Structure 1
Amino acid sequence: MPLPTDERLIALSQELLQQFDAIFGLNPGFRPAHAKGTMLTGTFIPTAAAASLSKAPHIVRASTPVTVRFSNSTGVPLIPDNDPNANPRGFAVRFNLAEHVHTDIVSHSTDGFPTHTGQEFLEFLKALATSDPANLKGSPLEAFLGSHPKALAFVQAPKPAPSSFAREAYFGVTAMKFTNKDGVSRFGRYRIVPEAGVEHLDDAAAAAKSANYLFDEIAERIAKGPVKYRVLVQVADEGDVVDDATIHWPEDRKLLELGTISLIAPVADDAHEQKQIIFDPIPRVEGIEPSDDPLLELRAAIYLLSGRRRRAAPEK
């Protein structure tokens, strides 16, 4: 995927990467956020109704191979799975359409995002880097959250630890524009729901878990049989705001079922493949386009810049 030509966007991307490095330390070969992860392979099978929303290749084909990456938050490669900072969890999906042809979904387990723009997100990270979250009084972070109610709502939203990666729901926080074969376009946001049902742990139960409990559990689970998720799209109504990830749409908006992801095996040479793969928040496929959300171009640039840096790091 190409790097954007907007120099201000590239400069902002570089500043954000530097802030992640300042907060989490520099860990060559790992992502600056969601560093600890694991990848699995499987298949996506669309529903018959999915074609009414989009003409994208993976929506109209009988099935498409997928690669999925589960991850913990932060840029700390060895963060314990039961550390509260490991939430929200990440779930990235690559639909492998042909050799070197793909489209992705990037989602996480908290519905929403703390800021509307990349500049605001940079201010948020700078405030975080210069504050003690356990002692907010008079800190830059307290000042930022006090003047940014959407960021405060995101920070205060419950983020309980899941009992399993297979028992967590994930949200695509930015809207996409879906177009079907008749040229009808609608905006929507992804929701990925586990077939096994959502199950969270209370603080005491999470604290009692091992530092690698989620990664151990998903390896044991996948060895026993497929791990399945329903891929849904919450469809916006006319007049809903579609370019701001901090704004939630009402829960009565239609949920259209796109299909089912069935994961069947770990990726071979997992560490190497995690280092190589660069997920793309922008779909770049006919039938699914980005909305005008300003986070999309920025996130794509950051993913590409950090991915190139990660690939250039020596193999362990």
Structure 2
Amino acid sequence: MPLPNDEKVVALANDLLQMFDQLFGLHPGFRAAHAKGLMLTGSFTPSARARSLTRAAHIQRDSTPVTVRFSNSTGLPQIPDNVGDANPRGLAIRFHLAEHVHTDIVSHSTNGFPTRDGYEFLDFLRAAAASGPDVPSPKPIEQFLGTHPAALAFVQAPKPFPASLARETYYAVTAFAFTNAEGHTRYGRYIITPGQGNEYLTPEQVAAIGENYHYDELAQRVASQPIRFHLRVQLAEPGDAVDDATLHWPESREVLDLGMLELTAVLPDSLAQQKQIIFDPIPRLDGIEPSADPLLELRAAIYLLSGRRRRSA
């Protein structure tokens, strides 16, 4: 996983990392964002229709081993599971294709992203950092949201507390180009839906749960039964924007079932493995290519820079 050749992208990635540090503090050995998490292992089995969309290696096999990481939002490793800032939750998936060969999906539980590109996102974080409780209104973040409707929509989107991280839906941020064996390409966005359906807690239930409720529940759940997710792709139609993560496609767009994720155990050395693994939002394999979304190269750079720092801690 190389750093982008574009020096501006790398500089912007470093600026964003510094903003995360300013917002959440330095926590050596942990991610700058989505710091609290748990890793599980399992397998992916493609559906009968998956090959009609892509010739990617993990779609051509009967099954592929996977490692997944569930996470809370923010760069706080000890953030309680029962506070609003823990949402949206994250789900990253690694498909192990061969020794040192893999492809990843990085997703979170709110559909979309607050800004079109990294420069807007940096402005968003700076506005948030400058808007403490003692700052009079209109605070910088209020001014930013007042002039950036996509960010306002993302912030205002419902972010309910899942009854379990295994009962939540997750969305990959950007679109990808899927190409099948015949060379036909369609753009799509991943949607990862729970096999048992969505279930959310009431405010009263949230107030009663413990600070590590979701991860304790996840470990207990997978110890008693496999956790299953459907890996799906919402397919774009001609005219749909495929390079802007702030824009939602109509719900009427076809959703193709790529296959089933089945998680069977917590990784025994989860904390150590979380420190080492660096997920990559760019697929980097034949059959699934990145779109022109400007967030992709930037996110890859941030994950790599943050990962190198984490490993050296």
TM-score, normalising length: structure 2: 0.99
Contact 1:161–1:200 (CA under 8 A) maintained in structure 2 = yes
Aligned with 2:74: secondary structure? coil
- Listed as ranges, the matches of 1:256-267 within 5 Å are 256-267=256-267
What is the alpha-carbon distance in structure 2 between the residues aligned to residue 224 and residue 312 of structure 1? 36
Q: How many aligned residue pairs are there?
A: 313
Once the two structures are superposed, what CA deviation does each residue of 1:99-120 show, in whole Å capped at 9, x if it has no partner? 0000000000000100000000
Residue-by-residue CA offset, 1:233-285 (whole Å, 9 max, x unaligned)? 00000110000000000000000000000000111211110000000000000
Counterpart CA distance in 2 for 1:127 and 1:191 is 30
Shift of 1:138: 1.4
After TM superposition, give the deviation of residue 201 of structure 1 in Å.
1.1
Question: Per the alignment, in what secondary structure is the counterpart of residue 48 of structure 1?
Answer: coil
Cα distance, 1:137 vs structure 2: 2.2
Unmatched tracts of structure 1, length 5 or more: none
| Partner residue in 1 for 2:301 | 301
Q: Which residue in the other structure is 2:274 paired with?
A: 274
Aligned residue type for 1:248? H
The answer to whether structure 1 residue 172 and structure 2 residue 172 are counterparts is yes
Match of 1:37 in 2: 37
- Matched with 1:46 is 46
Matched, 1:252 2:248: no
Which shows bigger deviation, 198-207 or 119-128? 198-207
Matches of 1:175 and 1:83, distance apart in 2: 30
- How far is the alpha carbon of 1:135 from its aligned partner? 7.0
Could you give the per-residue CA deviations for residues 14-71 of structure 1, whole angstroms, max 9, x where no partner exists?
Answer: 0000000000000000000000000000000000100000000001110000000000
**Maintained 8 Å contact 1:136/1:142:** no
Q: Tell me the amino acid that sits aligned with residue 193 of structure 1.
A: T
Q: Distance in 1 between matches of 2:172 and 2:137?
A: 33
CA contact (8 A) 1:110 1:159 kept: yes
- Quick check: 1:80–1:212 contact (8 Å CA) kept in 2? yes
Match of 1:84 in 2: 84
Please tell me whether the aligned partners of residues 174 and 189 of structure 1 are also in contact (alpha carbons under 8 angstroms): yes
* Paired residues of 1:74 and 1:85 also in contact (CA < 8 A): yes
CA change 1:227–1:135 in 2 (3 A) is farther
Which residue number corresponds to residue 140 of structure 1? 140
C-alpha spacing 1:284/1:134, structure 2 compared with 1 (3 Å):
farther
Q: Distance in 1 between matches of 2:136 and 2:10?
A: 31
Mapped partners of 1:275, 1:71: distance in 2? 13
Deviation at 1:132, TM superposition (A): 2.9
Cα distance between partner residues in 1 of 2:203 and 2:33: 23
Instruction: Structure 2: state its 5+ residue gaps.
Output: none
Matched residue, 1:126: 126
RMSD of the TM alignment (CA)? 1.0
Quote the Cα distance in structure 2 between the aligned partners of 1:136 and 1:157. Answer: 25
Change (3 A) 1:151 1:248: same
